């Protein structure tokens, strides 16, 4: 039996079992903490050297979104999986933009990926448009495997900042080209097939589907899926194909654009991805785990942001539930791989979301100031409302929680560029 097969078998069973246990613990008895966190495992002996990084972004997820999800999914005395991580802090998010004080996802992710502030819309370039070194590139240079998983387009701003550089986040076909020809992530899973194929050349997902007739292939860089296959990637577009994919470089595109339809409640809003974020995360980990020198995996749940833009509380909570399942998968991996740093945060807050009492006398307003709900509190006869103040982003700090080597660095309050400072200590080091 090959070493790769032995490693795969050693990983698959404990992660599957631990992930299931983590989810069951969260749902049935959410007050229980983790039974095997990295710090606890390390306390029995010398702390392991940091080797891997799992970085999870709840796009648009501020503290209030986490609170709403905690009440709805775990109850008043419960905890989310992401809140059980032993270290916590806050990150500020403002960009370096002459026209804005509130960040977009591109500038925020660039701060994470490069350690430098930039303007909104920029993907890992400085304020003058010059390309910056990214954590994804540094990890590759150190001999580590790399991957990205998202329910957005795989070329959307947050994942793009770790693996590409462009002055305009809208150039998603150029970002895809850079993935295949320049940064070469080992695992690429998410939506956005439209950007990988030329206009008039639909792929696994038809052009102009009934649910959104604006979606259609629109790339200008040729058939990038074929180019990816020639470069050694296995291409998949369904849950079954993803499940059957063997080890090696993996490209999975599971939607024309995002893996959901982001609209106000009752207006065609759908959150039902072809493959769930937690399934993609598990597959990515089992693939990247084969790297002897470690790996960097970026995971993103985009639905929190997109549905908050539409002030759709029900779908935000649904997206948060899938994010929670993905964090449970990551925690299970860390429990059996104490050389792995896990970080969970958000790039910014979206919607000005506030959790409010269910009070019929309260003025609910209308439009973007309307109240949304009521939403049930798990294990209680009580409920709460979500009150929105905007359909855009806000400048509030975002929470960050972490486990594993260097996780204690995330206590206190820091600029979002601090993420790069900590992660680069692991990812820019050849072992």
Give the number of domains in the chain: 1
Gap between the Cα atoms of 382 and 100, Å rounded: 40
Average pLDDT rounded to a whole number, residues 201-218 = 93
The parent domain of residue 227 ranges over: 3-427
Which is nearest to 104 in space by CA: 395, 387, 311, 301? 395
* Phi, psi of 55, deg, nearest 5: -115, 120
Helical axes 313-336 vs 277-288, angle rounded to 10°: 20
Average pLDDT rounded to a whole number, residues 90-99 = 97
pLDDT at 41 over 90: no
| Residue 76: both structure tokens together | 């008043």
Binding positions are 59, 156, 158, 300, 305, 309, 347-348, 393
pLDDT at 318 over 80: yes
Active site residues per annotation: 105
* Phi, psi of 172, deg, nearest 5: -70, -25
How many CB atoms lie under 10 A from the CB of residue 356? 15
pLDDT at 264 over 90: no
The predicted pLDDT at position 271 comes to 93
> pLDDT per residue over 362-375, tens digit each?
666 677 777 899 99
Task: Tell me what percent of the residues of the chain surpass a pLDDT of 90.
Answer: 81
Strands of the sheet containing 234-236, edge to edge, are 234-236, 250-253, 187-191, 145-153, 295-301, 52-58, 340-345, 398-403, 87-92, 412-415
- Cis status of the peptide bond prior to 374, with omega within 30 of 0: yes
List residues bridging with 357 in a β-sheet: 384
Binding positions for Zn(2+) are 59, 305, 309, 347-348, 393
| Residue 261: both structure tokens together | 């339809």
The answer to whether 93 touches 108, Cβ cutoff 8 Å, is yes
Helices (H), 43-134: 63-69, 105-114
pLDDT at 36 over 70: no
The predicted pLDDT at position 48 comes to 67
Can you give the CATH number for the domain in which 162 is found? 3.40.720.10
| Residue 414: both structure tokens together | 């820091």
């Amino acid at each position: 039996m090959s070493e790769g097969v032995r490693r795969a078998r050693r990983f698959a069973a404990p992660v599957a079992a631990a992930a299931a246990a983590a989810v069951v613990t969260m749902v049935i008895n959410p007050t229980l903490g983790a039974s095997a966190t990295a710090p606890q495992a390390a306390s029995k002996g010398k702390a392991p050297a940091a080797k891997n990084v799992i970085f999870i972004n709840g796009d648009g997820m501020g503290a209030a979104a986490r609170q709403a999800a905690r009440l709805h999914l775990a109850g008043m005395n419960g905890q989310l999986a992401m809140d059980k991580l032993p270290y916590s802090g806050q990150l500020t998010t403002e960009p370096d933009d002459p026209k804005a004080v509130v960040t977009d996802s591109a500038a925020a992710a660039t701060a994470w990926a490069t350690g430098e502030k930039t303007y909104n819309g920029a993907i890992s370039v400085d304020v003058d448009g010059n390309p910056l070194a990214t954590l994804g590139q540094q990890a590759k240079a150190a001999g580590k495997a790399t991957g990205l998983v998202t329910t957005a387009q795989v070329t959307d701003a947050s994942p793009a900042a770790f693996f590409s550089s462009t002055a305009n986040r809208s150039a998603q076909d150029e970002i895809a080209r850079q993935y295949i020809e320049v940064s070469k992530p080992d695992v690429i899973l998410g939506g956005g097939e439209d950007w990988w194929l030329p206009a008039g050349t639909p792929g696994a997902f038809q052009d102009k589907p009934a649910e959104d007739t604006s979606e259609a292939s629109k790339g200008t860089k040729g058939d990038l899926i074929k180019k990816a296959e020639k470069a050694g990637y296995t291409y998949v577009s369904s849950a079954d194909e993803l499940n059957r994919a063997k080890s090696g470089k993996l490209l999975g595109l599971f939607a024309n654009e995002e893996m959901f339809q982001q609209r106000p409640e009752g207006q065609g809003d759908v959150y039902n991805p072809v493959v769930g974020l937690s399934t993609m995360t598990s597959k990515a980990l089992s693939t990247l785990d084969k790297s002897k020198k470690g790996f960097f995996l970026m995971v993103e749940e985009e639905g929190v942001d997109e549905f908050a833009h539409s002030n759709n509380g029900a779908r935000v909570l649904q997206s948060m539930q899938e994010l929670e399942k993905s964090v449970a998968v990551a925690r299970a991996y860390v429990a059996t791989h104490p050389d792995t740093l896990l970080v969970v945060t958000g790039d910014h807050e979206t919607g000005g979301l506030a959790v409010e009492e269910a009070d019929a006398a309260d003025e609910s307003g209308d439009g973007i100031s309307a109240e949304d709900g009521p939403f049930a509190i798990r294990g209680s006869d009580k409920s709460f409302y979500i009150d929105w103040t905007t359909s855009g982003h806000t400048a509030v700090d975002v929470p960050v929680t972490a486990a594993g080597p260097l996780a204690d660095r995330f206590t206190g309050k820091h600029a979002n560029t601090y993420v790069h400072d900590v992660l680069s200590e692991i990812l820019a080091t050849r072992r």
